[in-house]
Structure 1
């Protein structure tokens, strides 16, 4: 059994794992393995926001960013998803991934100006970027044959890993956790650049993207997931969306992934910004909304056993202050990290 931490990032621990060295997880899970030359990745969320039916200008903007992704130095992988936010706005988010920071930097400056440098009637646009070192990042997959998100740019998937299926496994998979508590430092600040609003967050801001794929399920399993698990998951995601600030979740999006033709797929993911990894851990371990999600998932998996075809994954990043970029144009004040600035100034 492998360690989730790649060999080149292993170091002498000053902070111990939550489980002993002979721990055996009850079921298999896997992590993304990057090429040895990769030390940092970039993940960029490009969002468009509007009310009601998509105006022509929103459709044009989405086609524009897709074309920009296809240019030289564009991402190795990208996907698109949609959701309705807490004030009823439709948001369509295209998230792109790079494993070459020089290539990303060459691409980003003109792409940024094109996306948030000009106002478009009737819509808002935003950019949220992290460019973490691999020491600040982890992934986890229930199966190894269908990478999603940032894992789609990794060289391969691991064999079965040890650090999962216990509270604290998420932290133990992050290489920096071997020596660093990754505590948050500072408060978010708002920077005005003409009509553009930028948020400078703080050290050790945490991002999680946690996904579900039920496209392989057959009739009975699909019904069980959609009737018994998904409503509980949605309830938890909506709690974080509407009330997360009280538990240090700056913002949450529960999104349906869109297929290449724009139709809604049988995939979803939650994507949220947290003040710290510790805040995310507290919600996961003890908050009633996540305890309910965990209970529904365990009942589902124990009912189906190894025959379950639902696929689960997540990616978690704890980013240094200089690895973050947040910019918003004509978006409402609860959009993404703008909510964190509202909280800080309240």
Structure 2
């Protein structure tokens, strides 16, 4: 049994784990392992927003950013997903990951200018970037063999880890939690740059990407997931999208991952911005919407046991203020971190 925190990031704890040292989790889970030389990663969300007849322009923009990803200093991995937001706009988001900050810095300035520096008729564009040190984020996977998100740029996966299957495990897997409460500081502010809107968030903003992959499931398991679990998950995701601000969730997207040919795959993920890790923890532990999600998932997994083919994962980041970048052009005022800034609509 390994610790989720790699040996090179272990330090003397001033803040203790939620479980004793001899805790044994009831089922296996795994985390991504980076090469020791990797000190920082980049998670860059490039989004396009449109309604109805402007789909062709959105598609053209996505092809353009895909071409920029493919250059030598581009990301090591990217994927694409879509959803329809609370205002009825389709949002398609390409998420790119780097483990080399120098490559990202060389790549980003011209890509940013091309993406949010010029208006495209009928569509909005946005960029949301975190570049956390590896001490500030964690991953968790229910099975091996198919890394998703930021784990796709890792060196590999761990063996079975101890810090999971209990409330507080998410925090305990973040190396910085050994010594830091990761308390948020300040409030989001809006910065206007011509037509572009930038959001300056605050220290210890939290991001979660939490995914589901049912592509390996067979008939009975697939029906059980799609009939009994997914609707409850969707209800929780829609609550966070529509009413999350009151509990510290700035924005939530429940996305369907797109295959390479643009078709909708049998993968989804929720991606949300939170005021703090503590706010995310409170929702996960006690809010009725997540209690129902957890209950449906546990019933599903207890019914199927080790034969379950559903794959689950997440990545959680608590970013310092200088590790964040949010910029929006011609997007509606509830888009992403714009929703966190009350003055964005004035």
Shorter-normalised TM-score: what interval? over 0.9
After TM superposition, give the deviation of residue 344 of structure 1 in Å.
9.6
Which residue number corresponds to residue 98 of structure 2? 98
User: What aligned pairs does 1:1-346 form with structure 2 within 5 A after superposition?
Assistant: 1-342=1-342
After TM superposition, give the deviation of residue 41 of structure 1 in Å.
0.1
Q: Distance in 2 between matches of 1:53 and 1:216?
A: 35
The structure 1 segments of at least 4 consecutive aligned residues displaced by more than 4 Å after TM superposition are 343-346
After TM superposition, give the deviation of residue 310 of structure 1 in Å.
0.1
Conserved 8 A contact 1:187-1:344: no
After TM superposition, give the deviation of residue 54 of structure 1 in Å.
4.6
Q: Distance in 2 between matches of 1:243 and 1:274?
A: 13
TM superposition score normalised by structure 1: 0.99
Q: Distance in 2 between matches of 1:146 and 1:285?
A: 28
Q: Distance in 2 between matches of 1:242 and 1:52?
A: 22
Q: Distance in 1 between matches of 2:163 and 2:66?
A: 37
Q: Distance in 2 between matches of 1:58 and 1:211?
A: 25
Q: Distance in 2 between matches of 1:214 and 1:59?
A: 27
Gaps of 5+ in 1: none
SS in 1 for 2:38: coil
Deviates more, 1:52-61 or 1:149-158: 52-61
Q: Distance in 2 between matches of 1:129 and 1:192?
A: 18
Summarize deviations over 1:130-151 as a string: whole Å, max 9, x none. Answer: 0000000000000111100000
Q: CA RMSD in A?
A: 1.1
Deviates more, 1:239-248 or 1:50-59: 50-59
Q: Distance in 1 between matches of 2:343 and 2:336?
A: 12
Gaps of 5+ in 2: none
Q: Distance in 2 between matches of 1:53 and 1:314?
A: 34
Conserved 8 A contact 1:245-1:343: no
Aligned residue pair count: 346
After TM superposition, give the deviation of residue 306 of structure 1 in Å.
0.2
TM superposition score normalised by structure 2: 0.99
Q: Distance in 1 between matches of 2:147 and 2:182?
A: 27
Q: Distance in 1 between matches of 2:53 and 2:268?
A: 21
Q: Distance in 2 between matches of 1:344 and 1:109?
A: 24
SS in 2 for 1:66: helix
Q: Distance in 1 between matches of 2:309 and 2:54?
A: 34
